[in-house]
Each structure stands twice: as C-alpha cells, then as structure tokens.
Amino acid sequence: MLIETCILVGLLVAVAVYLILQPGFVRILFGFVLLSNAINLLVLLASGEPRGRKVPIVGDAVGGLPPVDPLPQALVLTAIVIGFGVIAYLVVLLYRTFLDQGTADAEELFADAPGREPAAPKAPTQEAGR
C-alpha cells in the first residue's frame, strides 16, 4: 500500500511539475491542483500502513485492532480546505486577467518590456480618486 502510494505521488508530482513549467497560466492552475493532491497523499503516507488497523474513532472496537494514526488525516483535511480556497481565488484571478488582457499565456501577458515599471503612469491621484 505504501509503495503504491509513493509511486502515485511521484507520478502526480512529475505531471504537476511539467504543467507548472508551461507558459499558460491555465495549465499552471491544473498543475497546482495536481501538486496539492500529490502532497496531500504524501502527508497521508505519514500515518503508515493502513492494513490491519481500524478507523480512528473512539469506542469503535473492531476486533481489538490498533487505530491508524489520525493526525495526518486531520492535517490533510486542513490542507484540502486551504488548497480549495486558494484554487478558487486563482481561478477568479485568472478569469479577471483573461477578461482584461484577452490571454492567460505568460509569454503574451509579459511580452511588453519585461519587468519594467508596471505602474509608472498611474499617479497616486488615480489611486486616491477611485
């Protein structure tokens, strides 16, 4: 069980890294979704081999088996919630960028003078006058 999960984590991370290295931000988004799933599985691995162990619920006696370590499951639960929120935010930000710029491709987005004064014409008056 552990070895299979390890291989799965490795596979997911490989695909995620490939996607994150692509120029399109939509692919980066999918890469991140895969990466967070891979990492969640990795954290789950820390509870050890689940076979021969019972679910960690107090008072649930299944033939006197020892319970699995519940802590990594609690960690993963927290991480899933956080990851979900961040992905939702990233989707909305991508959508806004796409509406404004008509593209979500990094090379096209940052084609104009890379790294030069992003906000130079914006005087603080506009900032205050919004």
Partner 1 sequence: MNNLAVMPVIVPALAGVVGLFWWRCGTARRVAFALVGLAQLVLALVLVDSARTHGPAVLGVGGWAAPYGIAIIVDRLSAIMLTLGAITALASMLYGFAQQPVRFEHPLRLPLVQFLVAGISLSFATADLFNLFVAFEVMLIASYALLTLEADDRDVKHALPYLTVNLVGGALFLGAAGLAYGLFGTLNFAGIAARAVEMSGDPRVMAWAVLLLTVFAIKAGVFPLYYWLPNAYPILPAPVAALYSGMLTKVGVYVLLRACGTLLPHDLTGLHAALAWLAGLTMILGVLGAVSRNFIRGILSFHILSQIGFMVLAIGFFTEYAVAAAVFYIVHHIIVKSSLFMAGGVVGVLNRSDDLDRSANLWRTMPVVGLLFLLPALSLAGLPPLSGFWGKYMIVVEGVRQGQWVLVVLSLVASVLTLFSMLKIWNTSFWAEDPSVPVRRDDGRWRGMAAVTGGMVVLSLAIGLGAAPFMDLAFETAREVLDQEGYVRLVLGAAGEAVAAP
Residue 70 makes contact with partner 1 by CB under 8 A: no
Residue 4 makes contact with partner 1 by CB under 8 A: no
| Among candidate residues 61, 85, 56, the one with its CA nearest the CA of residue 73 | 56
Name, in order, each residue with C-beta under 8 angstroms of 1's C-beta and a sequence gap of 6 or more: 49, 50, 51
DSSP codes, 25-66:
HHHHHHHHHHHHHHHHHHHHHTT---TT-B---TT--STTPP
Nearer to partner 1, 54 or 97 (CB): 97
Residue 91 makes contact with partner 1 by CB under 8 A: no
From residue 5 to residue 34, what is the string marking binding to partner 1 with x (rule CB under 8 A)? Answer: ---------------x----x--x---x--
Instruction: Give the binding range for partner 1 (CB under 8 A) out of 49-57, 59-67, 89-97.
Output: 89-97
Count of CB atoms situated within 10 Å of the CB of 95 = 11
Dihedral in degrees, nearest 10, Cα atoms 60, 62, 68, 70? -10
CB of 63 to partner 1, least distance (A): 26
Contact residues for partner 1, defined by CB under 8 A:
20, 25, 28, 32, 35-36, 39-40, 42-46, 71-72, 75, 78-79, 82, 85-86, 89-90, 93-94, 96-97, 100-101, 106, 109-110, 115-130
